[in-house]
Amino acid sequence: MNEQAKNVWNQAQAMANAAYRARRRNVTIDPITRLEGHGKIDIFLNEQGGVERAYFQVPELRGFEVFSIGRPAEDMPQITSRICGVCPTAHHMASAKCLDSLYGVQPPPAGRKIRELVYSAFMFEDHALHVYVLGGPDFIVGPEAPAAERNIFGVIGKVGVDVGKKVIGMRRRLRELIAYFGGKVVHPVMCLPGGVSKGLDPADLPKFKQLAADGLEFAQFTLQVFKDIVLKNPEYVKLITSEAYTHKTYYMGLVDENNKVNFYDGQLRVVDPNGKEFAKFPVEKYRDYVAEHVEPWSYMKFPYLKPLGWRGFEEGPDSSIYAVAPLARLNASDGFTTPLAQKAFEEYFATLGGKPVHHTLATHYARVVEMIYAAERMVELLNDPEITSKEIRTIPTKTPSVGIGVVEAPRGTLFHHYETDERGIIKMANLIVATVNNSARIAMSVERAAKGLIKNGEISEGLLNKVEMAFRAYDPCLGCATHSLPGHMPLVANIYNHRGELQRRLEQH
Amino acid sequence: MLNNRKERWHMPKPKVAFYWCASCGGCEETVVDLAEDILGVVEKVDIVFWPVAMDFKYADVRAMPDKSITASFVNGAIRSSEQEEMARLLRQKSQFLIAYGSCACTGGIPGLANQFSRKQILDFVYQGSPSTVNESGTRPQTKFQDNGRQVYLPEFRNMVRALDQVVEVDYYVPGCPPTPNITKEAVGALLAGRLPPKGSVLAPDIALCDECPRKDSKPTNVSFKEFVRPHQKILDPSLCFLAQGVVCMGPSTRKGCTAQCPSGNMPCTGCFGPTSRVKDQGAKILSSLCANVEPKDEASIDKVLEGIPDPIGTFYRYGLAKSLLRRKVNLPAS
């Protein structure tokens, strides 16, 4: 073939290939339409078989903010709890605080203390569930253990059947306390603006005091289990502190006047990637500090620090991304008000090399520290003579207009913001749910895990396990955005080669 | 395949499936809370599909012979094409399809979205909300081209539907969420072959007042001079809410929950739905309350009704999608 013919041939071939590639890139992969309720990851490879881009997508939206319009504000604690059946108490409580703010009313001391008692029991129960059942097995049983063993049964095998019984029993008793006040444990009904509907009968106090004492012992036991099994194993510590699970971002959490962690009330404090205070503000000012960015490829929005502007999925000094939840709460605070949690807090930072801790997997450790605080707080509140007072409600008298309420949910800062007419009928509701605050960091963790594991087009079988471990650390409650139980997040990963062809599809339900 | 129902029930291990649609996960929590109690039952069945807790794939369900699953429990309302498709598939593969929880039975709280259009929801969430910054007007796209990479999202429908508005349903287990007890009863009845007529709600067919501890204080002859919203007064922990002038859905709601909300000193909001004798739960309570409004002139009646500022959210909180109203009429079709 002469040179000219060869060139024409090659050009024609290149054009044909390009056209073919373009067509292939647009092929609709049928199962993608069947992903409602799943986390979904699309991974695109470059020509060398490395990861060019990974998308973490949340494919669902229910529209609570819009169908709250026209509802009486006092119904909101019960309506918004339906955002999530796993953490209904967090929404119920954030909404109650929003109503206090809306009506400019403060619950009497007993009303406030009962709320905080129920909330502490909820945080404890939810954290315990995660440590023993959902995320913890990765460590207690081991990240390399077969998936069939990385569950509560594997945990029981490792720590003994008595512990298994203890976990189930403790969770049941904590849930009974929530139901005592809330009527129901899933979707409680106790909160009204200015207080709670039901008080604590002194006759029932000894039972709950015993529960709190047992709970504190259980929380300390859990910290010991974590130390013995995880921290004494250099391999695990190496994994926790490895680059693949590290992101240098900002951190946010609710703190009291002394910058101590508080789940129920306080101001929001943000620290920068070096651990220096970036901002501290009353929750009513959240719009000056927090904004949400929209991407066309996910129904979940991506919050960032408004004063810095949206800078993309960046970490380090150029980042405007903040994280929430246990890791962030410890980074954003100066400690705890209770002695045992404070001691655990100091040990935590000493073990992990000082503040701030950027290792996503350290969230598991931070969660155990918070369990101790929740249990100590329950003991404190139940020993407070005011808790059995019959004064549990203040009837609101002011004309409502705007309310903003924030709590720390197990999975991070939870914002409720309502505007009403003078009758207290909702005109506008804005919600930033806990997991959503972490959405940008979760997306970064997914891409980091994918990039770390996929090389030369070879896809490690362990990819989903490792990616899921990054997820599980956040305990992403996509139940708030989808409807799966946290930690059991069904996950689908599609991997496309550089021509946009689907190369592998991995599913984990 | 065995066609005789009795013989099927005597097969050693009936197959059971669980699936969720547009829901919050609370129904799943109830099933998990049941775990301790239900171990005996679990030994008697094969769980063939439970995406939230066990590793099975959709393809496995597709490959099953028709009617090979004894009972499928589906929770959540139907909002997307994917949910509709799964409902059809499970219908095809199951002898009994059970609507589990308020959302599957009657649309549930997500059904309140039927008062709004999809566009209203998208516009607020991605543009109007006070914390959203979106100068370019970006919206999530079902098909999005990013640097030659094609990324997809499922589309969500304009309307929320109950499960039986999409496929035929055999039985209903009500509640938001259903209680562990009522679930245990329902599963037990199915497994023992104690089958009520098709279409039955597997809960007692009597109004909630019957099991309410405040029953004795329920006035025989109520007369409403006003309705009080729950935040406006201190609620008596033992007196019937209607006697306190507070709207309680108890009289038009099925019992079975052991009056959990009244035991938390808050009125019933109706999550168990109506009894079999009531066609429309909201219309029923509305007619009984309104018949007992004391004033008879329009202005005074309006004054009394100020205490019920959101009739839809009060009377149809869990049942709008399935009610005679179903949805707001003047919404755009898509």
The rounded percent of chain B whose pLDDT value lies above 90 is 57
Q: What is the C-alpha separation between B128 and B137, in angstroms, rounded? A: 10
Measuring CA to CA, how many Å separate A123 from each of A115, A137, A375, B326? 12, 19, 9, 38
Asked whether B296 and A213 are in contact (CB, 8 A), the reply is: no
For residue A488, the model assigns a pLDDT of 39
Q: Is A509 near chain B, with CB under 8 Å?
A: yes
Name the burial class of residue A350, with classes exposed (0-12), middle (13-18) and buried (19+) by CB atoms within 10 angstroms of its CB. Answer: exposed
Closest chain A residue to B317, measured at CA: A79
Nearest to A483 among B24, B148, B313 (CB): B24
Q: Which two tokens stand for residue B243?
A: 């006697």
Closest chain A residue to B50, measured at CA: A509
Q: Which two tokens stand for residue A158?
A: 């490792």
Closest chain B residue to A200, measured at CA: B264
Residues of A in contact with B231 (CB under 8 A): 74, 99, 103, 192-194, 395-396, 424
A197·B112 Cβ contact <8 A? no
A428·B130 Cβ contact <8 A? yes
Strands B15-20 and B46-49: parallel
Between A and B, how many CB-CB pairs are < 8 A?
261
- Mean pLDDT (whole number) for B149-163: 82
A82·B109 Cβ contact <8 A? yes
Q: Is A289 near chain B, with CB under 8 Å?
A: no
Residues of A in contact with B108 (CB under 8 A): 82
What secondary structure letter does DSSP report for B318? T
CATH 3.10.20.600 for the B2-110+159-192 domain, yes or no: no
Task: Check if the interface score ipTM surpasses 0.90.
Answer: yes
B134·A33 Cβ contact <8 A? no
Asked whether A493 and A470 are in contact (CB, 8 A), the reply is: no
Measuring CA to CA, how many Å separate A68 from each of A79, A478, B72, B247? 8, 20, 32, 19
Query: Please, what is the average pLDDT of chain B?
Result: 87
Alpha helices in B193-279 (DSSP H): 260-263
- Mean pLDDT (whole number) for B15-22: 84
Model pTM? 0.90
B231·A508 Cβ contact <8 A? no
Nearest chain A Cα distance for residue B173, angstroms:
16
* CB atoms near residue A87 (< 10 Å): 28
Q: What is the C-alpha separation between B97 and A415, in angstroms, rounded? A: 38
Q: Is A228 near chain B, with CB under 8 Å?
A: no
Strands A491-496 and A290-293: unpaired
Measuring CA to CA, how many Å separate A459 from each of A203, A471, A497? 61, 19, 11
For residue B7, pLDDT over 50 is answered with no
Nearest to B148 among A25, A395, A430 (CB): A25
- The tens place of each residue's pLDDT in chain A, 509 residues long, gives 566 666 665 665 555 555 444 333 322 222 222 233 456 777 888 888 788 888 877 766 778 999 999 999 999 999 999 988 888 999 999 999 999 999 999 999 999 999 999 999 999 998 988 787 766 677 777 766 666 566 666 676 777 777 777 887 898 899 999 999 999 999 999 999 999 999 999 999 999 999 999 999 999 999 998 999 889 988 888 888 988 889 999 999 999 999 999 999 999 999 999 999 999 999 999 999 999 999 998 888 999 999 999 999 999 989 999 999 999 999 999 999 999 999 999 999 999 999 999 999 899 899 999 999 999 999 999 999 999 999 999 999 999 999 999 999 999 999 999 999 999 999 999 999 888 899 899 889 888 877 877 777 776 656 666 766 777 777 655 444 333 333 334 556 677 777 777 777 666 54
Question: Sign of torsion, CA A87 B52 B79 B187?
Answer: negative
Q: Where are the domains of chain B?
A: 2-110+159-192, 118-156, 208-315
A292·B52 Cβ contact <8 A? no
Q: What is the C-alpha separation between B256 and B207, in angstroms, rounded? A: 9
- Mean pLDDT (whole number) for B181-186: 89
Find where tokens 């898509």 sit.
B334
Q: Which two tokens stand for residue B192?
A: 């023992």
For residue B143, pLDDT over 50 is answered with yes
For residue B44, pLDDT over 50 is answered with yes
Closest chain A residue to B75, measured at CA: A483
CA dihedral A315, A320, A325, A330 (to 10 degrees): 80
